[in-house]
Amino acid sequence: LGLLSAASCGAFSPQKMNQRRLLSRSSNLNHGQQQKNPFIRDIFDAKNQRRHSEAFDIVLFAAKIGIFFGSSTGSTEGVADLIASEFGSDAEGPFEIDGIQGSVAKKFSEYDALVVGTPTWNTGADSERSGTGWDEVYYGEMQDLNISGKKVAVFGLGDQISYAENYADASGELHDVFQDLGCQMLGYTSQEGYEHEESKAIRGDKFCGLLCDEVNQDDLTEERVENWVAQLKTEGIMDGSTTGASSPSVSVSEPIDVPIVTEPSPVASSQSSMDQIAALEAENARLRKMLEDSKMMDSVLKSEILADGYAPHYNPKTCVTMWTSPDGKQCYYTKDAPRNP
């Protein structure tokens, strides 16, 4: 049963899954038996070189991307929602910056990468140009963050016709604050298709992130978001963990099959043939019991999954089942059709 966890949740956290369902069981079987009898130890040493096909591969992924925004009229929140929808279960949020003031460091530390957005209201100002909660944390709480190396992408909103000389200026400040903290900035975009004259969000010949104009080009926003999220994935926003992330990916691969001994291994020449046969028969019986226990693990896992209340949604075309939590916010996938244990 291969499990892919799309969100970092209590029931399927790396620590809990590893402890409850696989490692405690398999390690108790293997280690305990090895200590009791050197004959068993020899078998498990050989098993490490002959890894059989009956094994569980469990890979768990933490929620890697957090989406944060500041907003005054709701337009930036709307674009944040589109971005979250495009990332799907690979992201959490969007979270309004006003709601996490005082705990910015804790919240940011939960993610390997951040997508952050702002509107522009204080047009032409040298700093604090967003007119949102970002202005309250830029040069106070955020200056104490230890997020060097974290991947960050910026998006912003502005009016390129009415404020052609200051289009989406606040996006540039948002970009610079994170860049000055040592973050790895992603998601630069072309200026083609816009009608602005100047912008403090320009770095080199590109915008420092995704810029949207919900006043004059709202019909282009959805396509721009789709293209930008695809670009971020290409640039590696979902690849690997970074400094400051508290929920790294964990991969566990443990064989739980136990070979059945059919031929005796070499023993001391002084031991009688009858003693050898008796010893092998006893070990064979023990190993057969261990094998039967290991085959029960699949049904045990499924029983626990169903007990957690996750509902299966089987796709016969891909032969993949998506299991969703009762609140619909968490899911994982298995590579077989759902079956009652």
Give 185-201 pLDDT, tens digit per residue: 999 999 999 999 999 99
Instruction: Report residue 193 as tokens.
Output: 């298709």
CB 49 within 8 A of CB 302: no
Question: What H or E segment, with its residue span, contains residue 148?
Answer: none
Measure the CA–CA gap between 221 and 215, rounded to whole angstroms.
11
Residue 217 has a pLDDT of 96
Helix (H, G, I), strand (E, B) or coil at 1: coil
Name beta bridge partners: 207.
189, 202
| Count of all residues that appear for the chain in the document | 341
Instruction: Report residue 238 as tokens.
Output: 């979902």
Residue 129 has a pLDDT of 80
Measure the CA–CA gap between 107 and 247, rounded to whole angstroms.
12
Q: Which amino acid is at 92?
A: E
Q: Measured in Å, how far apart are the chain's first and last C-alpha atoms?
A: 12
Residue 161 has a pLDDT of 93
List, for the chain, all residue ranges whose pLDDT scores fall below the cut of 70: 1-63, 124, 240-271, 293-308, 314, 317-318, 324-333, 336-341
Residue 188 has a pLDDT of 98
Nearest Cα neighbor of 105 from 170, 174, 181, 175 is 181
> Which pairing describes strands 202-203 and 206-207: parallel, antiparallel, or unpaired?
antiparallel
Q: Which residues contact 142 (CB under 8 A, 6 or more apart)?
A: 104, 177, 181
Nearest Cα neighbor of 323 from 21, 339, 90, 255 is 339
Question: What H or E segment, with its residue span, contains residue 203?
Answer: strand 202-203
DSSP 52-65: -S-EEEEEE----E
Residue for token pair 């799309």: 6
Residue 231 has a pLDDT of 97
> Which pairing describes strands 189-190 and 206-207: parallel, antiparallel, or unpaired?
antiparallel
Question: What H or E segment, with its residue span, contains residue 92?
Answer: strand 91-96
Measure the CA–CA gap between 26 and 49, rounded to whole angstroms.
17
Helix (H, G, I), strand (E, B) or coil at 177: helix
CB 221 within 8 A of CB 77: no
Instruction: Please state the pTM of the whole predicted model.
Output: 0.55
Residue 128 has a pLDDT of 86
Measure the CA–CA gap between 318 and 333, rounded to whole angstroms.
11
